[in-house]
Amino acid sequence: MLKIHNSLTREKQDFIPLIPGKVKIYVCGMTVYDYCHLGHARMMVVFDMVQRWLRASCFEVTYVRNITDVDDKIIKRALENNEPIDALTTRFIEAMEEDAAALGVLPPSSEPRATRHVEDMVAMIRVLMDKSLAYSASNGDVYYAVHRFPGYGKLSGKSLDDLRAGERVVVDPYKKDPLDFVLWKAAKPGEPQWPSPWGMGRPGWHIECSAMSKHYLGEQFDIHGGGQDLQFPHHENEIAQSEGAHDHAPFVNYWMHNGFVRINEEKMSKSLGNFFTVREILTRYQPEVVRFFILRAHYRSPLNYSDQHLDDAKRALDRLYTALKGTEAGETSVEIDWSGFHASRFRDAMNDDFNTSDAIAVLFDLANEANRTASQKDLILMKALGGVLGLLQQDPQQFFQSAGYAEYSFTAERIEQMIQQRLIARAQKNYGDADGIRNELLDAGIILEDGPQGTAWRRA
């Protein structure tokens, strides 16, 4: 049975869906005002892995990952760029989708945008107002009254007194309590705005996910995911909103949070200015290497970014693809027999809170076994199990010649032309010219491999 570490209970629990055979998942997605960095990539790859494993386990999965397309940061960036907000968000949604596709992230079942669900948000705020869980302030904003929700703090594991003591909040004279958070912001000149019972304005950030998860998944669902940084206050506030509005506790049965990406022992984030965008990384590393790098660590552990770690991931993935060079044409897929030794080990690892680290170790065991015995069966199983994680689905030659997003001056066509020039030089016994071509390619990171079938090449 699948076990999931539940952030709410702080322990692994047997996964029992609300409806047998069906799983409903909501994951907090991107705020689209800039390119995705590696922290965002980790979230997308991790929960793509989760939905893939649930589907491989014969669950019918409804996976919702939202897009925040109205927010203080978005408004600020649009003003800085002197461009319409819609143009800004459209551009970065397209970029996000390109990055996700490059990393092998399957599209979610639904990808709702906040601006298309403002009516749902207004309706939920009205319910909270009717239950005296929210109040309208004299500045036109509407706030959630945290002290009126008795369960506040259960996700973070802190009492209201602890949170007040530890929380650094900007003094807001319109709040009744420093921990109260905004549900509706009164309209300001030049900002997007919508009608509401409290006047023109726009929704706060936290109410977006409560309203959209209800719209697509109902008042209760199985799994809610996101980055560790969202556990407090965003997800804590979601619980207060959704359970306060609908009287369902818990409104989510399992909370999952992936760990931070760290650089020099600091969390990677735009606010700290120490982030690398996915696009920057993919100019130097193939997308599958980045996906492998993310999945090789357990999703809850910190992920330490460095070129050295990505180089190591490339070498490790090279080993798997080198083994796959031995697969015979046509023998590239198989229906997995989960009772087999290696497949059952892989399944047990994945059922232990999605332990991709141990699951990938099984792939290396299969590669080693195939290298020892030349077993086609082991290689085909390795490829099939890798496919469950979104790995090892390229033709090995394609993988070794792939260059990610980078615009190389040495294109595949040019490399093939140079190989032919080298063959001509060797045939004419111009060995100096032939060696010069090999060295020129080597300096550009292109390795030639001469063999009985001719000369193959791969990128270093």
- What is the residue type of 353? D
Tell me: pLDDT of 388 over 60.
yes
Residue 270 among known ligand-binding residues: yes
Strand partners, 450: 455
CB 269 within 8 A of CB 25: no
Q: How far is C-alpha 71 from the chain's CA centre?
A: 21
238 is in an annotated binding site: yes
**Is residue 402 over pLDDT 70?**
yes
Q: Are strands 454-459 and 3-6 parallel, antiparallel or unpaired?
A: unpaired
Q: What is the pLDDT of residue 420?
A: 87
Does position 409 have pLDDT exceeding 70, yes or no? no
Percent of the chain at pLDDT exceeding 70: 94
pLDDT of residue 330: 46
pLDDT on residue 125: 98
CATH 1.10.274.10 fits 307-400, yes or no: no
**Which has more confidence, 442 or 271?**
442
Q: What is the mean pLDDT of the chain?
A: 92
- Mean pLDDT (whole number) for 107-126: 98
What per-residue confidence (pLDDT) applies to 411? 76
| Average pLDDT over every residue of 254-275 | 82
Which DSSP string corresponds to 255-323? Answer: EEEEPPEEETTEE--TTTT---BHHHHTTTS-HHHHHHHHHTS-TTS-EE--HHHHHHHHHHHHHHHHH
Whole-number pLDDT of residue 168: 57
Is 28 annotated as contributing to ligand binding? Answer: yes
Full-model pTM: 0.88
Residue 18 has pLDDT above 90, yes or no: yes
pLDDT beyond 60 at 332: no
3-130+155-170+206-267: CATH topology is: Rossmann fold (3.40.50)
Question: Tens digit of pLDDT for each residue in 46-55?
Answer: 999 999 999 9
165 has a pLDDT exceeding 80: no
Does the structure show a pLDDT above 70 at 67? yes
Instruction: Identify which has the larger pLDDT, 399 or 96.
Output: 96
pLDDT at 333: 64
The three-state secondary structure class of 194 is strand
Whether residue 407 is predicted with pLDDT greater than 80 in this model: the reply is no
